[in-house]
Chain A
Amino acid sequence: MEDEAIVTLYWQRSEEAIARTDQKYGRYCHAIAYNILQDHLDSDECVNDTYLSLWQIIPPRRPSLLSALLAKITRNHALDRYKYNRAEKRGSGQVALALDELSECIGKSEEEYLEDRALTELLNGFLTSLPQKEKEVFLLRYWYLCSVRQVGQKLGLSESNVKMTLLRSRRQLRALLEKEGVRL
């Protein structure tokens, strides 16, 4: 089924939308979540959270690229869960967890929002400037959070080649951020 038809199902509030999304993108979303969480059960829950989020935001949104939207939501949920899991381990429970939960209430200041947007714009420019292969290596490692070995296997490169490419890209990014005076 085409993405447009799936989005239309969401607009019609048909529960079939979720089944169709899962059939078409379930494996893709699971792969994204699994790279971050390394746990199939957690990843499945994360993918379910993604479908719920999608259900809540369509309508009013009508995404032009459903796969990209799904990928972004899954990644954010997986990072949240990763953070939560880590906090749980760190404090054998409650202090770190409580702090994490409370941090949600504080939210971001307007200045932080603007800084984050500027940072994303810089990253867009940075990725545009990278040669195709280096861009793919960078995105697979830092967007999809694949291991160096996986990146090598997917792109047909040796691990040392991947590591060198990443090192070069990180140096370039660092120079760019310093030049633009981005405060991190």
Chain B
Amino acid sequence: MKQEERILRALGNVKDSFLLEVSGYMGDPRKEVLIQPRKKKWPGFAGLAAAAALMVTGALSLYAATGGERLDTPLPPILQAVAPEEVEQKAWPAFHLEYDAGELAMTESEEGVFLTPIDYADYLPPSDIQIEFLPGLLPYAAMEKTRAEMTDGLLNAQLNPQTGVYTLHISPEEVVWDAEVKDVWIVGAGSCGSFRLTARYFIEAVEGWGMTFSQICSSFTCPLSDSPSPEAEKAIMEFAEGYFSGNQLLMLSNYYGDSGNLKDMYTQDASRVRITDLRGLEGLEEQIKKNGSGTVSLVFLETEQSDSYTYLTMEVTKTQAGYRVSAYGLEK
């Protein structure tokens, strides 16, 4: 066996835990085949609209900071900063996603914000993306809620440890062309709650709308633009998510200190936890400058029926890699 092959084979036998850490990044590489006929080129008007959309995006520095990446697909999404007025009235946190405004329309209803294909044949089963905001729910709790709601079909849930985003794939029991498939993304919105994106399509559209929706949903981010310290809030909430869901890896990536001290996890049912506040974030930067670290408290109810608050208190410090939790404890 050649030397390079030996090392390649030996690498194939490394610990399973390493594979788990990156398996979330692996998808299906099959090329996208659109069921609907594609437009050959943008007509002039749509081109102008696209340029205008990009200019608007450039003007909104709030969203530009999130830096959405253009994807190389047959349906290149236009960079769009999205925070419809209707959504703001509902006090949703601002979010950002990329979609092709020439192909999909954004509408709003009682059930959330929807992205639906503009030219869509009536005889086909529905395909769309539904965006919902779940206030007070950590991503783990939102994932469990989704799992409980999806009673039909085969469900597979995965966590991307790098981004803290859960993805759930719900495939039908019976494989027929028009059977409904759902892909769900759960993205944390800091201490406010979580967003849930549900892409709905059918089996024959897996490689068409399924892939397109997947790219759109993957571009979804919540920049925490209302937070006094978005970076700190992101790290704190990811650490808390790890603490509640029992994911040591997520805790470790937002922790500064001896990893042996990370044994203490939340022992109750984390799917019932409702976050109500994150205290201490406003003066955190000042505390860190003055004392080297600051204290924040995540206030939550252990269940919706609880009559008293519980606090996850965290000592936060700032390292070269960013904000990190250095100590934590639960207080009633």
Contacts and interface: CB of A to CB of B under 8 A. Distances in A.
B156 A124 contact: no
A40 B26 contact: no
Contacts of B12: 72, 75-76, 79, 143
A71 B23 contact: yes
A153 B25 CA distance: 10
A59 B12 CA distance: 22
A62 B8 CA distance: 26
Nearest to B172: A23
B152 to A, nearest CB: 13
A49 interface: no
Q: By DSSP majority rule, is chain A's interface helix, strand, loop, or mixed?
A: helix
Contacts of A27: 27-28
A136 interface: yes
Nearest to B31: A40
A184 B162 CA distance: 33
A173 B272 CA distance: 45
Contact of B6 (A154, A155, A184): A184
Interface stretch (B14-22, B90-98, B292-300): B14-22
Contact of B154 (A1, A31, A132, A135): A1
Interface string B58-95: 00000000000101000000000000000000000000
Contacts of B20: 65, 67-68
Contacts of B253: 132
B14 A143 contact: yes
B29 A34 contact: yes
Contacts of B26: 28, 31-32, 144
A143 B11 contact: yes
A116 interface: yes
Contacts of A64: 16
B171 interface: yes
B7 interface: yes
Contacts of A68: 16, 19-20, 23
A119 to B, nearest CB: 4
Given A68-B19, A140-B22, 16 more contacts: A1-B154, A23-B154, A24-B156, A27-B28, A30-B28, A30-B29, A71-B19, A71-B23, A75-B12, A79-B8, A120-B14, A132-B21, A139-B19, A143-B18, A143-B22, A153-B69
Interface of B: 3, 5-16, 18-23, 25-30, 69, 71, 154, 156, 162, 171, 253
11 contacts: A20-B154, A35-B29, A64-B16, A65-B20, A68-B20, A79-B8, A119-B6, A136-B162, A140-B25, A143-B22, A144-B22
